[in-house]
Structure 1
Amino acid sequence: MSELIKHECGIALIRLRKPLEYYKEKYGTWQYGLNKLYLLMEKQHNRGQDGAGIVNVKMELEPGQEYINRHRSIEENPIKNVFDKVAKGIKKAEKNKPKNADIRWIYENVPFSGEVYLGHLRYGTFGRNSIEFVHPVMRQNNWKSRTLVLAGNFNLTNTDELFRKLIALGQHPKAYTDTVTVLEKVGHFLDEENQLHFRNYKNEGYSNRDISPLIEKNLDVQKVLENSSKDWDGGYAIAGMFGHGDSFVMRDPWGIRPAFYYYDDEIVVVASERPVIQTVMNVRADDVSEVKPGEALIIKKDGSVSNKMIRVPHTRRSCSFERIYFSRGSDKDIYQERKTLGRLLSPAILKSINYDIENTVFSFIPNTSETAFYGLVQGVRQYCVDWKIKELRERNGSITNEEMVEVLSVEPRVEKLAIKDVKLRTFIADDASRDDLVAHVYDVTYGIIKNDKDTLVIIDDSIVRGTTLKKSILKILDRLHPKKIIVVSSAPQIRYPDCYGIDMAVLDKFIAFNATIELLKDTNQTHVIDEVYRKCKEQENLPKEEIVNYVKEIYKQFKAEEVSAKIAELLKPDDCNAEVEIIYQTIENLHEACPNDTGDWYFTGNYPTPGGNKVVNTSFINYVEGKDGRAY
């Protein structure tokens, strides 16, 4: 994506199923689990660079010994910073290691030498980017089975509603965020589960000291998660662990946010992306399973692993943006889907260039769109093959060698045109200076374009705001003096805010929305804006389950092609000489390419949860009333 948007966080969980001595003997280090956690997080660094954190739990320590260690960071390279802290702590502890120290001494005295690890990578979508908001978050207690650690990739749309319920329970949450709300909600029902077991065992005559290990053994994790999540509206993949060693990963019933796992007799591994586990554990794709929508993977203190239904699963609506852009393209399915997205665009592009292959150059920007570009070129090449066959058949053997060479030589012209050259700093204060710098974010390859004759086709993952296109890419490409520039988006038009993890919550940040508003003005239909605003205001205080997405009516007046044409008009720089056209993916092609991941609410407005309709209406009200800030 040529313009950065913040998006889903990443989670990583490790559960060692053997004693530390086992890993020391087999792999040469007791830090086997810690090393795997580091690799899982580094391989997912694309999922969050605002902060990182890790927690480790030791399950077999005596009272008075520190059994939980945690480090978090919001430094420029947070993963490195966190693991530097870990290494420093280990080195400091080992200075006091006796010569004859065994693994047990390490377990008791060296931090991060426990059996359960939880890591998190943060992209901030809720709350300030301070250390306080970095996961994993903790709710500590003197009873280990009441101590809770959570880390997640989630956004809830009904934090206000959940916050009020916490207050009704008598709590005093320390912050108004979905993270605090989830932590306190799970913590409340964890306390209730503990208290229930305590009363039962007390009635049976057990002493307080004997009760704690009984609670740890028989704690019903499924029940805690069921009770905690019954009112949650949003997308989530949440990992957690209790102080005594039970751990879990739960997923929303629509499968909006991703989670995958692998386990054998040595280890349990969970991550946000499948190929990460494949690489770190050197296993096949078929060995890695997906946490199913509405289920939780539960790992008990004794190492047993089970899948439990937490919420009744709904129709799967997993995020299609994961397939288009966010997840690593090394996943076998995602790679093929991205190629298909590009290939399916080829008919529209061929039509736009009037099938003039000779005078068209195909390229991509940025690097993340490279896979879709391969698919696009594949589609154009297939057209060329079909054309060659047709030409040779029509000439029926009368073709000369020179003509045959000419026909067989027809191939799409593929070039590396745009190169990201510099990461701009934000110390420039005035807009004019900053805009001039932004125009130089990308550099171009000169000397390969026929002046005023060639058409450039540039594919991007998605066009969200269009700022980088207008202020940088189109300006620079125009220096090559093409006749026409066609910018192709492998994603459809982004028309609606996301509220399930991606930082896209404000309507007027979307170029498709702004273009539609301009079309309404051009065609004297501004009354539609007023009518939609009135309908949104009328249902402002309704329960989220009764709210309808009336913002869809804004777009009903125009075909997608009309909106695309207006977008091209808005994004074309004033000093750009080339004709500019923008072609978007269709919704139908998106679903054909990604049949198992149908979450498309940012394109269609079809939100999987009731809270989505509430968010989009609130966002539109904020737009009309000129209010800044989030809609949820």
Structure 2
Amino acid sequence: MCGIVGVVSNAPVNQLLYDAMLLLQHRGQDAAGIVTMLERKFFMHKAKGMVRDVFRTRNMRALPGHIGLGQVRYPTAGNAYSEEEAQPFYVNAPFGITLVHNGNLTNAHALRAELFSTDHRHINTESDSEVLLNVLAHELARSTQGAPLQLEEIFKAVAAVHRRLRGSYAVVSLIAGHGLLVFRDPYGIRPLCLGRSADGAWMAASESVALEGSGFVFERDVAPGEAVYIDLQGQLHARQCAAAPVLDPCIFEFVYLARPDSTIDGISVYQARLNLGETLAQRVISTVPPSEIDVIVPIPESSRPSATQLAHLLGIPYREGFVKNRYVGRTFIMPGQGVRKKSVRQKLNVIASEFKGRNVLLVDDSIVRGTTSREIVQMARDAGARKVYMASAAPPVRFPNVYGIDMPTKDELVAHNRSIEEIRQLIGCDALIYQDVDAMKRAVRKAAPAQGGSVPLAGFEASCFDGVYVTGDIDTEAILRMNGSRPRIEETEEDSSRLVLPNAS
């Protein structure tokens, strides 16, 4: 999971890119980068850290041009400590291309071998995004065969990219001297949308909130398999480049990843979470009589809409029992289990009066590793709660995710090969209530518009809940291989790369 953005304007874009990346900061806190283009020259700055720390005034002044792209990074493959794996990536031939990518290629290992032995292209990092960039570059070179770049050749190259890639990918790329190219995998697993400003500028971004918060009006989502090319004059050209596109967006976007004020593939994330709270109410009633619950407390922040709806339907007071320190990052996407465990109590503090002597129902959006849940249950008990129940707006996470969410190993999943009772004992709560898989899918689908886009909603990529991998190329061997390419993120490890990029001065 990363946040990506691209802008084509008739005015400088560095500030627009910066502002949009701030709005996407929740999608990645590991590294940030921006590339702009002036005439045919790229200007780049990228480094590890949050957007506000990576970019200073001197860096922004060194990013001229009316077209550019940027990314906030959350590593799911490669080396999380290496600054050379921060995006954007750049390749000088053909034309000069920079690229940012949100997602995870499931056949990156095979592609890396192909690029070396057949395409004769060099990959310098462990990142699958560099693999993707080189596949795109190779296919653009094949389609043009040394001739000037034409629109048909661009779409032909993207069609070839779709045939070679497997997995999830939303891509924003910049072709030197030509324009901005964005495309999305044929299943639409990772989100990507388009917006336009009053002065005719275009923006592509991972979530609609980045458009609206930057003064752009949401136009539409990029369809699965579609390529959109925006030239330097601001003219937009679109083409479906996949043979059989199917819309199966990642359901975890609606459960946790996306901001509630975003709309993805026509589905309001906020409404989807309200619906999840509605369906969760029936599960709670069948497990714990509402008369035994004194108060409902959300675990900030993604669970708030579900908890609000749950409290309303059960007629139980809703209270904010935890105060979040907004200057500590999201623990789910923090590199390293040790960092996650240490940050829980730094991230949340209890309001003891909401817990003392009460039976409390805690509501979370999901329970992945169980580390945070166990800490929070103990915090509620320490604050004087008589009983602590826990409800998850999502079903048990029992299977690895291979499409860009950092939970690929079975050992890290608290629900893998455990019964609900075993999970309850491990977390330490008095009762544990999970959402049902089918109910979750119905709840999110209920928030979808009656009229679909050019590719109607087929279903959801929900593999971490149901074990069904929509791309059809995932088996035990593939999962083991991908585990080997997970980010190296142990807290004691130092980056020994000789090619780490220096910070710009």
Aligned to 1:460: 364
> Are residues 218 and 423 of structure 1, via their aligned partners in 2, closer, same or farther at CA, if it must alter by over 3 Å?
closer
Determine whether 1:289 maps to 2:220.
yes
Aligned to 2:492: none
Determine whether 1:486 maps to 2:392.
no
> Are residues 375 and 312 of structure 1, via their aligned partners in 2, closer, same or farther at CA, if it must alter by over 3 Å?
farther
Determine whether 1:249 maps to 2:249.
no
- Per-residue deviation, residues 481-525 of structure 1 (Å, max 9, x unmatched): 44421111111110111111111111110000152xxxxxxxxxx
> Are residues 234 and 629 of structure 1, via their aligned partners in 2, closer, same or farther at CA, if it must alter by over 3 Å?
closer
In 1: Cα distance, 2:341 partner to 2:184 partner? 42
2:317 maps to which of 413, 421, 430: 413
Aligned to 2:436: 586
Aligned to 1:177: 127
State the one-letter code of the partner of 2:421: A
- Name stretches of at least 5 consecutive residues in structure 1 with no aligned partner: 1-7, 21-30, 62-66, 90-111, 198-214, 382-411, 516-562, 573-578, 623-627
Please say which of residues 273-282 and 598-607 is displaced more in the overlay.
Answer: 273-282
In 1: Cα distance, 2:136 partner to 2:299 partner? 43
User: After superposition, where does 1:325-404 map in structure 2 within 5 Å?
Assistant: 325-331=256-262, 333-356=268-291, 359-381=293-315
Aligned to 1:136: 88
- Per-residue deviation, residues 380-404 of structure 1 (Å, max 9, x unmatched): 13xxxxxxxxxxxxxxxxxxxxxxx
Determine whether 1:469 maps to 2:373.
yes
**1:376 Cα deviation (Å)?**
1.0
Aligned to 1:11: 4
State the one-letter code of the partner of 1:365: I
> Are residues 448 and 53 of structure 1, via their aligned partners in 2, closer, same or farther at CA, if it must alter by over 3 Å?
closer
> Are residues 187 and 501 of structure 1, via their aligned partners in 2, closer, same or farther at CA, if it must alter by over 3 Å?
same
> Are residues 477 and 34 of structure 1, via their aligned partners in 2, closer, same or farther at CA, if it must alter by over 3 Å?
same
Aligned to 1:87: 60
> Are residues 216 and 339 of structure 1, via their aligned partners in 2, closer, same or farther at CA, if it must alter by over 3 Å?
same
In 2: Cα distance, 1:458 partner to 1:255 partner? 33
> Are residues 167 and 590 of structure 1, via their aligned partners in 2, closer, same or farther at CA, if it must alter by over 3 Å?
same
- Per-residue deviation, residues 451-473 of structure 1 (Å, max 9, x unmatched): 3xx42100001101111222x21
Aligned to 2:494: none
Contact 2:290 2:314 in 1 (8 A): no
Secondary structure of the 1:513 match is coil
Determine whether 1:598 maps to 2:460.
yes
In 2: Cα distance, 1:440 partner to 1:41 partner? 25
Aligned to 1:495: 398
Contact 2:33 2:46 in 1 (8 A): yes
In 1: Cα distance, 2:486 partner to 2:35 partner? 30
Determine whether 1:72 maps to 2:23.
no
State the one-letter code of the partner of 1:585: Q
User: After superposition, where does 1:118-133 map in structure 2 within 5 Å?
Assistant: 118-128=69-79, 129-133=81-85
Aligned to 1:446: 352
In 1: Cα distance, 2:351 partner to 2:101 partner? 42
Aligned to 1:34: 14
Percent of matched pairs sharing the same residue: 26
**1:79 Cα deviation (Å)?**
4.3
**1:174 Cα deviation (Å)?**
2.6
RMSD of the TM alignment (CA)?
2.9
State the one-letter code of the partner of 1:163: R
Aligned to 1:186: 136
Determine whether 1:51 maps to 2:64.
no
Aligned to 1:262: 195
Contact 1:353 1:455 in 2 (8 A): no
**1:480 Cα deviation (Å)?**
4.0
In 1: Cα distance, 2:102 partner to 2:250 partner? 12
- Per-residue deviation, residues 327-364 of structure 1 (Å, max 9, x unmatched): 1111261111101101211122233332316x521111
Aligned to 1:607: 469
In 1: Cα distance, 2:163 partner to 2:468 partner? 22
Secondary structure of the 2:77 match is coil
In 2: Cα distance, 1:501 partner to 1:327 partner? 13
| Bigger proportion of residues as helix | 1
Aligned to 2:424: 568
Q: TM-score, normalised by structure 1?
A: 0.68
State the one-letter code of the partner of 2:207: E
- Name stretches of at least 5 consecutive residues in structure 2 with no aligned partner: 332-336, 446-456, 488-505
| Bigger proportion of residues as strand | 2
Count of aligned residue pairs for this structure pair: 461
In 2: Cα distance, 1:467 partner to 1:619 partner? 26
1:166 maps to which of 115, 120, 126: 115
Question: Which structure has the larger Rg over C-alpha atoms?
Answer: 1
> Are residues 35 and 438 of structure 1, via their aligned partners in 2, closer, same or farther at CA, if it must alter by over 3 Å?
closer
Contact 1:274 1:288 in 2 (8 A): no
State the one-letter code of the partner of 1:115: H
Contact 2:105 2:165 in 1 (8 A): yes
**1:172 Cα deviation (Å)?**
3.7
